[in-house]
C-alpha cells in the first residue's frame, strides 16, 4: 500500500472513466500492492464504500464498468475463506516525452501572421480616434467643456443616491464570503487543524491532486492525521504537506461502526502507590 499507485491512477487513468469510477479506482489503489497492483482486502469493506461514496449495489455496477473499460481486471472471485481479488491495469502515459504534442501552435515561427495591418511593412490604416494626430472630438470629454454630471468637487452624482450608493458601499465594506482558496470542503478540517496546532505548511495540491488526501481522511480521520503531522513536524522542519502523505497512508483505518473499547481488568482494592516496608529486617535477606 502506498501513494505511488494512487498518483498513477490520477495521472494516467483512461479519459473515458466517470468521476465515480475514477474515485473508486483511487480507493482500490490505496488498498492495492504497488508492485503487483492487486488488492489486499475485500472490496465490500465499509472503508471502501464510504471512501467511494457508493452503496453495495452501486459498488458492483461501477466495478463491472471499470472492467468493461479496461481499467480493472478481476483475478479471483470471493470465496468462503478469501476475498475477491482485483488488479489495476497499467495505463498508457499521457503526454510522455517520446510522443510530442501534435497540437500545432497558431503562432509557430514557420507560419507568420498574414494579417496585413499587423505586419511591419504595412502600417495600420485604421483611423483610430485615439491616435495623437486625431484628437478626441467627443465634447463631453473635452477639458474645456465640463461634464454637468460632475460637480465642482469632482465627485460624480449617482443616478439614484438613495438606493445604489448605500448598497455599493456595503458591498465594498464586506469581505467576499465562501472563499475556499482551492481547498475542498472535506479537506478544510485537516488544513485548519494543522494550522491551529502550529504546523504551517504549503498545500500544493490542485484539482484531482486532492484525491489521495481525501481518501486518507476517509480512511484514518482528521484527528489521527493531525496528531501524526504534529509529531513529525516536531522532529524536523517541514515545508510541504506532501511530506506527510507516506506516514498518513500507514495509519490504521477508523474503527468499524459500533466497535467498543475492550474492558480493562479491575484490580482489587484499587491502585496504590509503592511504599517502603516499615520492617527493615526484610533487607537482611538481600532484598
pLDDT at position 33 is 86
pLDDT at position 139 is 47
pLDDT at position 43 is 84
CA separation, residue 190 to residues 51, 52, 194, 242, 271 (Å): 16, 19, 6, 13, 39
Closest CA to 231 of 257, 178, 272, 194: 194
pLDDT at position 191 is 93
Tens place of pLDDT per residue across the chain (287 aa): 557 888 888 888 888 889 889 898 888 888 888 888 888 888 888 988 898 889 988 998 999 999 998 889 988 887 777 788 899 888 876 444 444 444 444 444 454 544 454 555 655 555 544 555 555 545 444 455 455 545 555 555 555 544 444 444 444 444 444 457 789 999 999 999 999 999 999 999 998 899 999 999 999 999 999 999 999 999 999 999 999 999 999 999 998 887 777 776 666 666 677 777 777 676 666 55
CA separation, residue 275 to residues 180, 272, 278, 279 (Å): 59, 9, 9, 12
pLDDT at position 151 is 55
Cβ neighbours for 263, distance < 8 A, ≥ 6 positions apart: none
CA distance 129 to 28: 64
CA distance 11 to 71: 13
pLDDT at position 93 is 65
CA separation, residue 186 to residues 53, 88, 146, 221, 246 (Å): 13, 26, 57, 11, 20
Amino acid at each position: 500500500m502506498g501513494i505511488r499507485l494512487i498518483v498513477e491512477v490520477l495521472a494516467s487513468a483512461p479519459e473515458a472513466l466517470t468521476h465515480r469510477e475514477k474515485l473508486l479506482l483511487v480507493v482500490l489503489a490505496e488498498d492495492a500492492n504497488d508492485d503487483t497492483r492487486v488488492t489486499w482486502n475485500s472490496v465490500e469493506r465499509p472503508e471502501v464504500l464510504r471512501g467511494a461514496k457508493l452503496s453495495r449495489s452501486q459498488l458492483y455496477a461501477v466495478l463491472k464498468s471499470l472492467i468493461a473499460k479496461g481499467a480493472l481486471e478481476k483475478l479471483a472471485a470471493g470465496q468462503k475463506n478469501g476475498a475477491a481479488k482485483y488488479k489495476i491495469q497499467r495505463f498508457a502515459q499521457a503526454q510522455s516525452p517520446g510522443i510530442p504534442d501534435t497540437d500545432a501552435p497558431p503562432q509557430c515561427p514557420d507560419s507568420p501572421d498574414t494579417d496585413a495591418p499587423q505586419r511591419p511593412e504595412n502600417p495600420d490604416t485604421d483611423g483610430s480616434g485615439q491616435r495623437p494626430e486625431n484628437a478626441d472630438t467627443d465634447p463631453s470629454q473635452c477639458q474645456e467643456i465640463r461634464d454637468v454630471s460632475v460637480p465642482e468637487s469632482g465627485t460624480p452624482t449617482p443616478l439614484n443616491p438613495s438606493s445604489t450608493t448605500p448598497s455599493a458601499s456595503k458591498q465594498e465594506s464586506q469581505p467576499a464570503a465562501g472563499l475556499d482558496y482551492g481547498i475542498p470542503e472535506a479537506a478544510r478540517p485537516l488544513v485548519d487543524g494543522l494550522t491551529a496546532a502550529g504546523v504551517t505548511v504549503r498545500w500544493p495540491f490542485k484539482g484531482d491532486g486532492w484525491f489521495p488526501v481525501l481518501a486518507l481522511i476517509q480512511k484514518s480521520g482528521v484527528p489521527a492525521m493531525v496528531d501524526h503531522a504534529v509529531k513529525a513536524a516536531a522532529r524536523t522542519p517541514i515545508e510541504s504537506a506532501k511530506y506527510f502523505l507516506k506516514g498518513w497512508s500507514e495509519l490504521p483505518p477508523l474503527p468499524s461502526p459500533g466497535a467498543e473499547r475492550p474492558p480493562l481488568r479491575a484490580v482489587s482494592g484499587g491502585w496504590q502507590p509503592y511504599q517502603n516496608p516499615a520492617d527493615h529486617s526484610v533487607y537482611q535477606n538481600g532484598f
